[in-house]
Amino acid sequence: MIPPGKTIGIVGGGQLGRMLALTARRLGYRIAVLDPELACPAAPVADVALTAPFDDSKALRRLAEASDVVTYEFENIPVESLRQIASIRPVFPDPEVLHLCQHREREREFLKKYNFPSPRFEIVASANELASALTRFPGKTRLKSSAFGYDGKGQLPLEPSANPQQAWSQINVPRAVLEEHVPFVRELSVLIARQATGLSVPFPPFENRHQEGVLERTIFPARTSATTATAALSLASQIADQLKLVGLLGVELFELADGKLLVNELAPRVHNSGHLTAETCHTSQFEQQIRAVCGLPLGLVTPLCPAVMFNLLGDLWVQGEPDWSPLFALPGTVLHLYGKSVARPGRKMGHLTIRAATTEEAIRLGNLALNPIRTKAGLPALTA
């Protein structure tokens, strides 16, 4: 057990690292962060902030020596860097879990090997292989880069008549995964924490809506049947056990019209869809991650109330910092800004959580809060 008072190292200093650090400090932990950016969001709330590339051996050693246990906040980290840290201090989730989840081929092959339901796929490494693979899919497909894809980046939807040479040139990667188009009715995610003892605790499913590959909002609890919710929790638990996970895992799912589920992606870290747990559960996803990696008992995750989270993207900053003051007059509203100095279209700058008696009321209040800001930024109004 790593008790409060010790130091947690975090590889990555983005908004997830910032929220992890803030939670850990409340629990009495010290924080050491490694990130390439001097002004990363987590730096102001860390006790030790190391600015260096993720493959800098000296900085990795300094982080390990300053920490009692180390975790990470996103997938695009060289796994060899985590292995180096793990030779000095414990790293959770295990670097081999990251090695699997950060690469779409390995992730898909893992799901297939253990019979976890997922979209049909083929691996391609050239335009000719893509042309051949396309003949084996009857309808629409999606071409995804094998590595370094996130928030919809490195993905290309393809019609049956797509030109394989043009598509391969456009995605511009050495290897990719061609997947069948999934006509889902709902995107779900389950966040599950698991201890080294094998005990796991999943949060109830979250319902997610994306725009251009970026999460636009999360509804909690998900508006799905009890049968589907139970199946989602069971699936997440089985995957966590198979990975021998220690820490937190996000399992992204497609719900089909008949209620069946397909696994879309795995993320061994705190997850964008779970941000609202800070206001809607006894134990947030951030505290649960800390409890899991430090060997503390896992917390209660029963929802306290319905809620909706809206991502705040850099598009809202087109005319400068938005006027947030009207949001504070709305009941159940909690604003989180990540402290990023530069706003770019599509960049996650913060999020807004709305708590209410029903999800419908939370959606209505969220639209009421954000539409004046969106209108001023020249963006379409939210209607549902």
Provide the pLDDT confidence category of residue 147 given band limits of 50, 70 and 90: confident
Q: Is the pLDDT of residue 47 over 70?
A: yes
Phi, psi at 35, each rounded to 5°: -155, 150
Q: Is the pLDDT of residue 151 over 70?
A: no
CATH code of 7-91, in short, is 3.40.50.20
CATH code of 186-376, in short, is 3.30.470.20
Q: Is the pLDDT of residue 154 over 90?
A: no
Mean pLDDT for 308-319 is: 96
Q: Is the pLDDT of residue 58 over 70?
A: yes
Ranges of beta strands (E only) in 110-150 are: 121-124, 141-145
Give me the pLDDT at residue 31, please: 98
- Every domain of the chain with CATH number 3.40.50.20 lies at 7-91
Q: Is the pLDDT of residue 148 over 80?
A: no
Mean pLDDT for 162-185 is: 93
Give me the pLDDT at residue 268, please: 97
Q: Which residues contact 274 (CB under 8 A, 6 or more apart)?
A: 189, 191, 203, 206, 250, 284, 285
| Long-range Cβ pairs for the range 83-92 (8 Å, 24+) | 84/57, 84/60, 85/9, 85/11, 85/60, 88/61, 88/64, 89/9, 89/64, 89/65, 92/246, 92/247, 92/292, 92/293
Ranges of beta strands (E only) in the chain are: 7-11, 30-35, 48-51, 69-72, 121-124, 141-145, 155-158, 176-180, 186-194, 200-202, 206-211, 214-220, 247-255, 261-267, 307-313, 333-337, 348-355
Q: Is the pLDDT of residue 163 over 90?
A: yes
Provide the pLDDT confidence category of residue 196 given band limits of 50, 70 and 90: very high
Provide the pLDDT confidence category of residue 197 given band limits of 50, 70 and 90: very high
Mean pLDDT for 165-172 is: 93
Please give the structure tokens belonging to residue 73.
């906040």
Percent of the chain exceeding pLDDT 90 equals 92
**Mean pLDDT computed over every residue of the chain:** 95
Give me the pLDDT at residue 349, please: 97
- Every domain of the chain with CATH number 3.30.470.20 lies at 186-376
Mean pLDDT for 197-215 is: 94
Q: Is the pLDDT of residue 153 over 80?
A: no
Task: Give the three-state DSSP class for 90.
Answer: coil
pLDDT 10s digits, 240-287: 999 999 999 999 999 999 999 999 999 999 999 999 999 999 999 999
Percent of the chain exceeding pLDDT 70 equals 99
pLDDT 10s digits, 342-358: 999 999 999 999 999 99
Q: Is the pLDDT of residue 149 over 80?
A: no
Mean pLDDT for 18-24 is: 97
**What kind of fold does domain 120-180 have according to CATH?**
Dna Ligase; domain 1 (3.30.1490)
- Every domain of the chain with CATH number 3.30.1490.20 lies at 120-180
Which of 150-164, 206-220, 336-350 shows the lowest per-residue confidence on average (mean pLDDT)? 150-164
Give me the pLDDT at residue 152, please: 59
Give me the pLDDT at residue 282, please: 96
- The radius of gyration of the chain from alpha carbons, rounded to an integer in Å, stands at 21
Give me the pLDDT at residue 150, please: 63
Which of 251, 245, 247 minimizes the C-alpha distance to 264?
A: 251
Task: Give the three-state DSSP class for 158.
Answer: strand
Q: Which residues contact 124 (CB under 8 A, 6 or more apart)?
A: 130, 133, 143, 175, 176, 177, 178
